[in-house]
Amino acid sequence: MDRRSFLAATAANTALAFAPSAFAAQGSRGEALEGQANRIPGKGVELSWNARSARTTIYVSSDPDASRRAMRQVKAGVTGGRVAVSAEIAPRPYYLLAANGRETRVAERLLPLEGGRNFRDLGGYRVADGRQVRWGRIYRSGVMSGLTAGDMDYLSKLGVKVICDLRSPQERQGEPNPFIKAKHPEVVAFDYDMGSSLGQLAQATTREQAIDVFAAAYVQFLDMLTPHYTDLFARLAEGQAPLALNCSAGKDRTGMGSALILSVLGAPRETILADYALTQVYTPPSFYRKQMAEAGKAPSAGMTAQQTQAFARMPSEVLDVIMGSDPEVMRKALVEIDRKFGGPIALAKSRFGLSDARIASMRRAYLI
């Protein structure tokens, strides 16, 4: 997505770009303060929050974890729950909103890159104990081959240390990560064969069938990507962050990895589903339809030309599931993980090398 498309998508989808609990109420004194930041063409960054009647003070810093004392005050006594502030793209601005003795930290979720796909921050989400996931520590993304030199400089200045590439060897060869030549950050990948994990989608004729098959494929990823997810959690537990994980679209293999990370950090299920659904806001099915029409490319990663042709003949409602990020897919996959493994945390402990001590360490490192 180029910067112009990014700005248009952000402006058009402002109300969708955060967890559903963020604006559930009007910001009463006992409720957590929640907000969001979206870059708006010609207006800098628009901040919005749920305490609409409260007098809110806004602070900013290029350090995502800066104390209020170390931040610069931007606005004071703002009411109405919405305001536009001037902000350059770099250095990346992180905001603290304070109202009625409550605080929340917000930043742009989708990074304002010129190239790449679906590169966004997992920060800001509220977990069960009331803390937030730290901004600027864990990123999720689609293919990075389209990143410009400016994008790479921007990401390097964010301090990204390692990229966990979840793609198959064929995908990595076809669209190599540009940071491999740059040698920093480190790009980590493991070889595997996508096999038939997505092949049954070609047989789906309804949305419900597509959701069921896609959800089953997500659970199959747990076996296929065991080395990837084990390495990912090891690096996070060891503090190798900022870290980014990616696949091709940044929604399926990366979506499952992100769901596991947020689960381990204590995020509620609704928040995990909302984060998954954001992919079809930033890269809607129409993006892939256009790609298929213009270049004959597959709508999802690792598919053969024969599979791609079969998908091109699919009903529209099935293609929308394949090319989108319908939260029902992730919900069903997580329900199956609950049934089969006892939940994402139990799965991560039995399959991906985590322990109670490592989980506690991750929560100390990535929650604020």
Q: Are residues 72 and 148 in the same domain?
A: no
Q: Are residues 178 and 59 in the same domain?
A: no
Q: Which of 315, 361, 74 shows the shortest CA–CA distance to 208?
A: 315
Structural domain includes residue 121: no
Structural domain includes residue 349: yes
Q: Are residues 188 and 289 in the same domain?
A: yes
Distances (CA, A) of 60 to 53, 97, 189: 21, 9, 36
Q: Are residues 202 and 316 in the same domain?
A: yes
Q: Are residues 85 and 196 in the same domain?
A: no
Structural domain includes residue 2: no
Query: For residue 341, how many other CB atoms are within 10 A of its CB?
Result: 17
Residue range(s) defining the domain that contains residue 171: 138-366
Beta bridge partners of 105: 96
Answer whether 137's CB lies under 8 Å from 125's CB: no
Q: Are residues 179 and 314 in the same domain?
A: yes
Q: Are residues 148 and 76 in the same domain?
A: no
Answer whether 287's CB lies under 8 Å from 281's CB: no
User: How many secondary structure helices (H) and strands (E) does the chain include?
Assistant: 15, 12
Q: Are residues 44 and 157 in the same domain?
A: no
End-of-domain residue from the set 88, 108, 128: 108
pLDDT (0 to 100) of residue 296: 57
Answer whether 286's CB lies under 8 Å from 339's CB: no
pLDDT (0 to 100) of residue 43: 82
Exposure string over 96-118, b if 16+ CB within 10 A, otherwise e = bbbbbebebbbbbbbbbbbbbbb
Q: Are residues 44 and 185 in the same domain?
A: no
Structural domain includes residue 308: yes
Low-confidence ranges of the chain (pLDDT < 70): 1-30, 195-199, 295-311
Structural domain includes residue 119: no
Answer whether 324's CB lies under 8 Å from 199's CB: no
Structural domain includes residue 122: no
Q: Are residues 74 and 159 in the same domain?
A: no
pLDDT (0 to 100) of residue 202: 73
Residues 6+ apart with CB under 8 A from 182: 152, 156
What domain count does the chain have?
Answer: 2
Q: The CATH number of the domain where 226 resides is what? A: 3.90.190.10
What order do you get walking across the sheet with 72-78 strand by strand?
Answer: 72-78, 56-61, 94-99, 102-106
Structural domain includes residue 43: yes
Q: Are residues 56 and 201 in the same domain?
A: no
End-of-domain residue from the set 108, 123, 148: 108
Q: Are residues 85 and 187 in the same domain?
A: no
Structural domain includes residue 249: yes
289-294 long-range contacts (CB < 8 A, ≥24 apart) are 289/319, 289/323
Q: The CATH number of the domain where 76 resides is what? A: 2.60.40.10
